[in-house]
Amino acid sequence: MATRIHPSSFVSESATIGDGSQVWLFCQIRDDARIGKGCIFGKGVYVDGGVTIGDNVKIQNNVSVFTGVDIEDGVFVGPHVCFTNDKVPRAVNPDGSIKSAHDWVVSKTLVKTGSAIGANSTVVCGVTVGAWSMVAAGSVVTKDVPDHALVRGNPARTVGWVCRCGLKVDLSAGEARCTCGRSLVQDADGVVRDAG
């Protein structure tokens, strides 16, 4: 499939977009952003300069992905999700002068493979959203989300575990088999991994 970019969208000449990706209405992709293959960006998506987005990522309408955010393969980002990139945002310095790019301290955020972030969630910078995890709609993520965790609330807290297919599984016995046929195990340190 050919790459499609709607004529109302702006893509910097220094940005790269992989084969088969689709960029819909009123998107902006800034300098040196790298977009993988097979991605779909809904209306009004903003991708800041230097952002890296993997293959087969789906970003819904009106999402802002700012500098410092890296998104791995197969991630879903729901509508109106906001990623921040400054832990102490200010328009001016203590002396009242306007902050310049040199005054800005960008904190990194990593969204790992297969994770899903629900509509209207905010991801505060400096965290990792774990592989195959799920962030419930409207959540505020302020700390790392473990792999396969289901988190919700403000601040987001782990309330369960999910399979790669997205269904919730009961790990109270330390292991579980999902109705899709995959298995998850939880080790003594609480780390959850896919057992196939």
Q: Residue 98 belongs to what domain range?
A: 4-168
Q: Are 92 and 100 in contact (CB under 8 A)?
A: no
Q: What is the mean pLDDT of residues 128-138?
A: 99
* CATH code for the domain in which residue 153 is found: 2.160.10.10
Residue 62 has pLDDT above 90, yes or no: yes
Tell me: pLDDT of 58 over 90. Answer: yes
Whether 43 is covered by a domain: the verdict is yes
**Is residue 18 a contact partner of residue 37, using CB atoms and an 8 Å limit?**
yes
Section 49-72 average pLDDT: 98
Number of domains in the chain: 1
Does pTM top 0.85 for this prediction?
Answer: yes
pLDDT band at 22 (very low <50, low <70, confident <90, very high): very high
Instruction: Read off the pLDDT band of 104 (50, 70, 90).
Output: confident
Residue 96 lies in a domain: yes
Q: Please indicate, yes or no, if residue 179 is contained in any of the structural domains.
A: no
- Active-site pick, 6, 80, 102, 148: 80
181 within a domain of the structure (yes/no):
no
Confidence of residue 1 (pLDDT cuts 50, 70, 90): confident
**Residue 47 within any structural domain of the chain:** yes
Half-sphere exposure of 67 (CA within 13 A, CB side): 10
Q: Mind spelling out the 3-state secondary structure of the chain?
A: CCCEECCCCEECCCCEECCCCEECCCCEECCCCEECCCCEECCCCEECCCCEECCCCEECCCCEECCCEEECCCCEECCCCEECCCCCCCCECCCCCECCHHHCCCCCEEECCCCEECCCCEECCCCEECCCCEECCCCEECCCECCCEEEECCCCEEEEEECCCCCEECCCCCEEECCCCCEEEECCCCCEEECC
Active site residue 6: no
Within a domain: residue 99? yes
Structure tokens at 21: 């990706």
